[in-house]
């Protein structure tokens, strides 16, 4: 079967409405429906990722390839990469998604030298450019894989060997250049090996300084070439390393402040990384917005009972409703989108499993978006929230927050008070959320 | 039995040397022995805490009092508080520790009003002052309990009700005043309820602003009264709340930078809090030093297989060796110390169990300190560390870190490189550590 | 306010249908609606528990009472117990639930001797008996609290002290006798302290033998008095102890087989205990059914990000749908029911919060039951499951499972095969489930 | 470099005593020293495993090969397998270990058919047989890899496809035959994919019946061919699958009882699997002994802060001391041994790192063994344990445990008691253990 009909589907997946029982149709994702003033497609901004969907063979630490994708079989590397691109763009067409995303290493083969790797990347970028002329799909973000090759086993920017640092600069420059020429909306840095396996051999302070320098230089370069999109950091606490420096939103916020990068660098958040760090997805998103760091979302789910990244397709409507509620409150995505950093299970070996998984998850997202819209329209959570903090609207307390009172003054005032606690009404609010999802 | 001989021990615990089998003697803690230029007592700066050792009755969420301490039985509150103080100072004498620590609510009863509570606190402080004239023990730090009373169920500084905020100011002012007059070396803020139970009813951004304001005012006040010690924040990720704002070192660092508090506020770190946040104790300590935030240590241990704060007496020599190694590298404690935020198991109901637990843990600490000293003297870890990063000492790479190169320049340089990975030698280093502990 | 109108609600909560926005009305729980051949009330068999709802004051390890229930204030103990019973039966009326449940210690005060405690229990049982004449509510199960008093700090049946074992027999006999006279449908043993804090002081083999003996004697006694209901063990892996012997379903199954108790002892399963043990709720229920051990359910939810028992009101419709799907497949509850072993958050201090929490969770359960019914009617999961295992229906493979083939025969047969893997279709199935919830 | 001198070490690693600083010498492992009546070598019975040390290329889920072992490079498969065997036997010689272990797939290449795979295996077995004539090393156990090939992606014995079951029988028969002819002391079954990814597509009851049948047939076959060693099951809760049927010791005990296999099947326990299941290593070992299921140990360690199998070289002397204490109490290993199911970190890329890791871990084990011996000689834990349970030695309580009393009798006895709790003395015991390690 030709790679451009690898999935055996001539037509794109269509919206059939909630009553449909067709796993290859949308029940909620109705791209032209208006949600909070934008088309649903423009609110959700779905992207299919290259790595899980086209580059991962189905292996895990205890077993090898299960999918047997034709383009992963032995053969001339660049030719295989082109077959892969055909299959990928065919899936983009079938799903009718507005975006895709990739690492350099996903799309083109490693060369014998960095220069050759970059030539390979650009050769595939030429093909992408041509395909994107006719295809609808655009590039949500590009990124460089600085973790798979053994040269990066001890990190890229944080490597004890400065030659690796320099090599990484070379690789990232090429990846950003390609992202720029393909009009990518963002550029992502995932620091998968920027961390440590053991503190016994690690100078954490020095390595963080290296990382700060790397990003500062990258930000300068981005401005120089006129790349408008933000640089996005993707927090993850661990895996592959024991500890990663971009542990979670708060940790990255500390880092960005220290190295004065908070204006140019934002966050790409992911549910599975959030829970590995001990946070809810909602928490990470709210904290990012609270500190003006929100950028984009990797949309997947982890398994609450497992301690590694399972990157499953997101199916939990309630969880996403709360996230989209926050996002819509802030006016929706700017440059970001919902990137399917999700992989089908390695037993899902039929080509159409990949289509079905995206469809089911896009539908769960769409349903969540609609629920979030209704919650916002009803101010279902906003009204009780405003009531709860209403005391702070009094002038004397506004003055406290404004820094117009001393500790002694407020303490003196406190001496005369007998504050009475009020119900947090958690179960009431949980019941309210259940009405919407 | 009189409370000042509650433990039935007339003499202080003595150093008997490694061969001793007496659980009421020290095998390693030889207070006058010189370690890295200071007396061991001055390096370790042990403090006994009031709350676990004298205020906790032995209960847990499924069961009540087990210890039956006389001073916790029904009776006139202030009289009971004085009996408790007698027992506490007797333990300080028996253990011959240089410091103690307390919350306001540990030492004196809650009054009907805040003013009355403060009077009670000061009455006990008078007693402490007198006892401290003759006793050796000093105050490592004082703090205010802003989490046990129901008024604080939704937080203190982060409460939705500004009256609670004001009340907390009143209470903290009194606690800091008492700490100051007792010549406390530090003042600690543990934000046990500064967090949330559910995001559904929480405005995280606003609450963090409240907390920033509270601490800013407190820092101003501290300077005003001439309190020299630092304000210490004690990170903990969760428990009692689902999520606490002072999650870990990195989170607090982000917060302190945002509210411009990093100069005056430092960290009080704890092993059990570290592991609940997904970090090693060592990690938290190193990260604090890397960002000039190290203040003091709560010394205990958690159970790696349990998801709550067990606050067990620290007994793991290897873990503490690595922490003390880092501490000694930085010259040892400044204002901080090793505070026994540790509680005996609720089945350890004999009075002497409390003595034995402290002795065993002090000894484990002393043994770790000696191991750390030997490791530093041998540069057992320092030499391999320096070798690993030696490449960065070359002038061209120093220039990179100094910000003298552009991204394009380094990228161009990287194009010509083929970096060769070198062994991380983790097992070798682990074997080396095992030689010392 | 009189305790029999503590909640300020004269009428019972009514079914108003899905469109209702009234937090004191049911949207899905329509008790007389027929679901799989039974009234919804008879399928769900809800029980309100005494301990969380009437005996817990709102404390946690870091703070005390928040609810200020009148019956928990100082006063004559038995009088207070009667006020509590008035309030409890009023809630049963308001919620119109068919069952309740209690520990001996929840309903009546501890006496100076065991004999006095038993007299107190029987005095309250008299009151219950009278109330139950007119009230609709019945007893789902009774149990004895063998974990709160300090005598049980090292376990009850597994205590190193045989006097505690004997005392526990006395207490359990009285609790079972009362359960029997109140026509309880089951009797529950929760082994909250049957476990250990440290293996250093524990003879695990001996303690398990003690527990086996205790239950064997109890089963004999149950038969002797003609108590028809099963004895239920409630697995929980930890908390309050570091390790509990009734860790999970599989562990209890091993225990019951070893001591030949599997015929008379079944399981009371709980979501929060399941996840603390590393299992999904669904898993525990399926494993119990697979081994003919299913008894009853404690219905609550834990927090996936916290390591302790939060016992929150169950609100996750999808999770419960899968559990009820399994239950309905097996014909629904026999003696068991859905016991609300759930507590409102300690900030939910308004009396009506307790009503609202039950209503919201009952509704989530009802919605899940209806979803499970539809899934079963459609054979939405059953049909793909049967297809997946269809190969085993062939006679030659049935013979293998029936024990009619030797290893060598099957191995020889295997030599000629090239088995081809088939898709596990996980994402398809997840999408199907999402259609129903 | 020839594979038989791949490590560049002509001499075996020697014992140099505690003062040695040579990472290629033993400080504690003195093989001929007598410990509890056996030579240290015969007590510890170390085995080097093939899979981590010779078959794993250094990859993880985010990166590929780092070690670049010559025998893993492209080439004729059987020739490469022979080079690997040369290197392996050279390491056995260098470490002077008495045992090794392997999966079929570790040592010989997969063929186009099962028959060809088996021929390959036997060809390598011939080589092993010849090498073992002159080498000291013996086979601790063999096993079959039923998890890496895609045919096993949904399990082997528990596969929904009976052809996979039959294929697995063929493969296991060959692996057991080879183990038998090489005089293996045990045969191991690790059920790495005997479990599920999702319950939505799983009939757990049926799959467990399949597994029971498989093992019953295997036990019959083992007896038929006169294989004396036990079949060992290796519990692991998860990874690679979401849930594995051999979750932990208790779960396997339940399974073995149900299918009447407890006489012939024992356990191979591992620290990393224990902690992933929520247990201490010590717990699993004690529970196995308590139920007469102890077989052998995989010796490694996990990372308490990570949720996956890290299989690091064991270095924690205290943890192992407690395990060996239990083992020595029961007379030491019978057929089992300490199998190094441990892998060097993927950054440990120097060939000698593999030697150094084994040496450091063997030394940690030896040190623990000596500590356990001293603890047993002193009855340091045994004496307090006996005292704690002494009450049960009274005739009236022995009668209870012997089943000679009814519940009513014991309950009646309990009515007259006022049991007084005694201290659990945990901190005292922890201090005692610290004296020995």
CA angle at C330 for the pair C327 and C335, rounded to the nearest 5°: 75
- Tens of pLDDT along C152-204? 999 999 999 999 999 999 999 999 999 999 999 999 999 999 999 999 999 99
**Residue from C5, A293, B356, B310 nearest D435 by CA:** B356
Q: Using a CB–CB cutoff of 8 Å, tell me whether C304 touches chain A.
A: yes
Identify whether the C-beta of residue D48 lies closer than 8 Å to the C-beta of residue D361. Answer: no
How many beta carbons lie within 10 A of that of residue B192, not counting itself?
A: 22
Residue B1 pLDDT: 53
| SS3 assignment, position C188 | strand
Q: Is D237 helix (H, G, I), strand (E, B) or coil?
A: coil
Provide the pLDDT confidence category of residue D4 given band limits of 50, 70 and 90: confident
Residues belonging to chain B: 437
- Residues A123 and A265 grouped into a single domain: yes
The answer to whether residues A101 and A243 belong to one domain is yes
Q: Which of D305, D318, D421 sits opposite B278 (nearest CB)?
A: D305
User: What is d(CA D216, CA D204) in angstroms, rounded to the nearest whole number?
Assistant: 18
Is residue B134 less than 8 Å (CB to CB) from chain A? no
Q: Are residues B402 and B338 in the same domain?
A: no
Which residues, in sequence order, are CB contacts of D1 under 8 Å at separation 6+?
A: D8, D70
Asked if D421 and B349 come within 8 Å (Cβ–Cβ), the reply is yes
Rounded to an integer, what distance in angstroms lies between the CA atom of residue A375 and that of residue A373?
5
Same domain, D287 and D412: no
Confidence of residue A1 (pLDDT cuts 50, 70, 90): low
Residue D2 confidence (pLDDT) above 80: no
Residues in chain B predicted with pLDDT less than 70, given as ranges, are: 1
SS3 B43: helix
Per CB-CB distance under 8 Å, the chain C contacts of B306 are 238-239, 242, 307
- Taking CB atoms and an 8 Å limit, are C115 and D208 in contact across chains? no
What is the pLDDT of chain D when averaged over all its residues?
97
Q: What's residue A2's pLDDT?
A: 73
Please check if D279 is assigned to a binding site. no
pLDDT tens column, D115-147: 999 999 999 999 999 999 999 999 999 999 999
- The strand pairing partners of A142, in sequence order, are A102, A187
Q: Which residues of C touch B66 (CB under 8 A)?
A: 150, 153
Is the domain of B396 the same as that of B429?
A: yes
Contact at CB, A349 and C428, closer than 8 angstroms: no
What pLDDT shows up at residue D1?
53
Positions in chain C short of pLDDT 50: none
Angle at A194 between CA A192 and CA A195, to 5 degrees: 105
Res B63: pLDDT? 97
Domain boundary among A329, A352, A377: A377
Final residue of a structural domain among B377, B399, B417: B377
Distance CA D124, CA D137 (A): 16
pLDDT digits (tens, 9 = 90+) for D73-105: 999 999 999 999 999 999 999 999 999 999 999
Q: Within 10 A of A380 (CB to CB), how many other CB atoms are there?
A: 18
Looking at the structure, tell me whether residues B416 and B312 fall in a common domain: no
Strand C138-143 relative to strand C186-189, pairing: parallel
Tell me the CA distances in angstroms from B2 to A311, C147, C329, one per residue in order.
63, 31, 67
d(CA C194, CA C236): 10
Nearest to C169 among D161, D411, D424 (CB): D411
Write down the pLDDT at residue C76: 95
The answer to whether residue A309 scores a pLDDT higher than 90 is: yes
- Residue from D30, D106, D246, D363 carrying the catalytic annotation: D106
Q: Do A153 and A213 share a domain, yes or no?
A: yes
Q: At a CB cut-off of 8 Å and minimum separation 6, what does A242 contact? A: A195, A196, A197, A198, D303, D305, D306
Longest dimension (CA), chain B: 81
Who's near D209: CB < 8 A, 6+ residues apart? C401
Q: What helix, strand, coil percent values describe chain C, rounded to 5? A: 50, 10, 40
Model ipTM over 0.85: yes
Q: How far is Cα of residue D28 from the mean position of the Cα atoms in its chain?
A: 22
B10 is catalytic: no
Q: Is D432 on the interface with B (CB under 8 A)?
A: yes
Q: In the listed set C377, C407, C427, which residue is the last one of a domain according to the structure?
A: C377
**Which residues, 6+ apart, have CB-to-CB distance to B78 below 8 Å?**
B108, B109, B120, B123, B124
**Pick from A387, D369, A190, D196: which is nearest to C429 by CA?**
D196
Q: Is there a single domain that holds both residue C300 and residue C211?
A: yes
Tell me if D383 is assigned to some domain.
Answer: no
C10 and C108 belong to one structural domain: yes
**What's the rounded Cα separation, in Å, for the pair C357 and C335?**
25
Model pLDDT, residue A4: 79
Closest CA to B308 of C302, C87, C67: C302
Say which of A90, A96, A104, A106 is annotated catalytic.
A106
Give the closest residue to D203 by CA, choosing from A302, C326, A348, C324: C326
Looking at the structure of chain A, the number of domains it has is 2
Quote the domain boundaries for residue C102: 3-377
What gap in Å lies between CA D404 and CA A188, rounded to an integer?
73
Asked whether the beta carbons of A27 and A20 are under 8 A apart, the reply is yes
Question: Under a CB-based contact definition with an 8 Å cutoff, are residues A265 and A231 in contact?
Answer: yes
Give me the pLDDT at residue B2, please.
73
Q: Exposed/middle/buried for B86, CB within 10 Å: 0-12, 13-18, 19+?
A: middle
Report the residue from A166, A201, A394 with minimal CB separation from B426.
Answer: A201
Cα(C262)–Cα(C283) distance, rounded to whole angstroms?
A: 19
Q: Does residue C226 lie within any of the structural domains?
A: yes
CA distance C378 to chain B (A): 36
Contact assessment for residue B305 and residue D279, using Cβ atoms and an 8 Å cutoff:
yes
Contact in structure between D157 and D210 (CB atoms under 8 Å): yes
Sign of CA dihedral D200, D204, D210, D211: positive
- In this structure, the answer to whether residues A400 and A368 fall within a common structural domain is no
Whether B226 and B183 have beta carbons less than 8 Å apart is answered as: no
- Indicate which CATH number applies to the domain containing C80: 3.20.20.150
Shortest Cα distance, chain A CAs vs residue C269, angstroms: 18
D304 and D428 assigned to the same domain: no
Put simply, whether B263 touches A (Cβ < 8 Å) is: no
Segment D35-53 mean pLDDT: 98
Q: What is the DSSP letter of A53?
A: I
Is residue C207 included in any domain, yes or no?
Answer: yes
How far are the Cα atoms of A75, B62, D1 from residue B347, in angstroms, in the given order? Answer: 68, 14, 62
Please indicate, yes or no, whether residues A273 and A393 belong to a single structural domain of this protein. Answer: no
Active site residues of C: 103, 106
Whether A377 contacts chain C with CB within 8 A: no
Q: Any chain B CB within 8 A of the CB of C149?
A: yes
Q: Is residue C384 part of a domain?
A: no
Active-site pick, B103, B283, B325, B358: B103
Q: What is the 3-state secondary structure (H, E, C) of D116-162?
A: HHHHHHHHHHHHHHHHHHHCCCEEEEEECCCCCCHHHCCCCCCCCCH
């Amino acid at each position: 079967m030709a790679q451009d009909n690898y999935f055996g589907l001539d037509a794109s997946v269509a919206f059939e409405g909630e009553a449909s029982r067709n796993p290859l149709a949308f029940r909620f994702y109705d791209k032209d429906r208006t949600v909070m003033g934008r088309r649903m497609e423009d609110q959700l901004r779905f992207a299919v990722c290259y790595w899980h969907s086209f580059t991962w063979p189905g292996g895990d630490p205890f077993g090898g390839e299960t999918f047997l994708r034709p383009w992963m079989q032995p053969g001339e590397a660049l030719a295989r990469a082109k077959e892969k691109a055909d299959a990928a763009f065919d899936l983009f067409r079938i799903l009718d998604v507005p975006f895709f995303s990739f690492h350099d290493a996903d799309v083109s083969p490693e060369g014998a030298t960095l220069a050759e790797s970059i030539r390979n990347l650009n050769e595939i970028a030429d093909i992408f450019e041509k395909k994107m002329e006719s295809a609808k799909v655009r590039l949500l973000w590009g990124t460089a894989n600085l973790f798979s090759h053994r040269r990066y086993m001890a990190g890229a920017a944080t490597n004890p060997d400065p030659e690796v640092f320099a090599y990484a600069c070379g690789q990232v420059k090429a990846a950003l250049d390609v992202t720029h020429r393909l009009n990518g909306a963002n550029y992502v840095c995932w620091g998968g090996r920027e961390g440590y396996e053991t503190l016994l051999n690690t100078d954490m302070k020095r390595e963080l300084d290296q990382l700060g320098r790397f990003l500062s230089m990258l930000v300068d370069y981005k401005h120089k070439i006129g790349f408008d999109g933000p640089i996005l950091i993707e927090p993850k606490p661990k895996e592959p390393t024991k500890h990663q420096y971009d542990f979670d939103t708060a940790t990255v916020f500390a880092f960005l402040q220290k190295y004065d990068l908070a204006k140019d660098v934002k966050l790409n958040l992911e549910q599975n990384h959030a829970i590995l760090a001990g946070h809810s997805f909602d928490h990470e998103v709210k904290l990012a917005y609270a500190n003006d760091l929100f950028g984009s979302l990797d949309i997947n789910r982890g398994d609450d009972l497992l301690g590694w990244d399972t990157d499953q397709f997101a199916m939990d409507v309630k969880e996403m409703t709360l996230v989209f509620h926050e996002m819509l409150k802030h006016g929706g995505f700017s440059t970001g989108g919902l990137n399917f950093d999700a992989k089908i299970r390695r037993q899902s070996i039929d080509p159409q499993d990949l289509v079905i998984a995206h469809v089911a998850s896009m539908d769960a997202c769409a349903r969540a978006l609609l629920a979030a819209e209704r919650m916002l329209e009803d101010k279902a959570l906003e009204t009780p929230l405003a009531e709860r903090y209403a005391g702070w609207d009094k002038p004397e307390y506004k003055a406290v927050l404004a820094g117009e009172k001393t500790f002694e003054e407020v303490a003196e005032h406190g001496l005369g008070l007998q504050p009475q606690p009020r119900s947090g009404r958690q179960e009431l609010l949980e019941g309210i959320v259940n009405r919407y999802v």
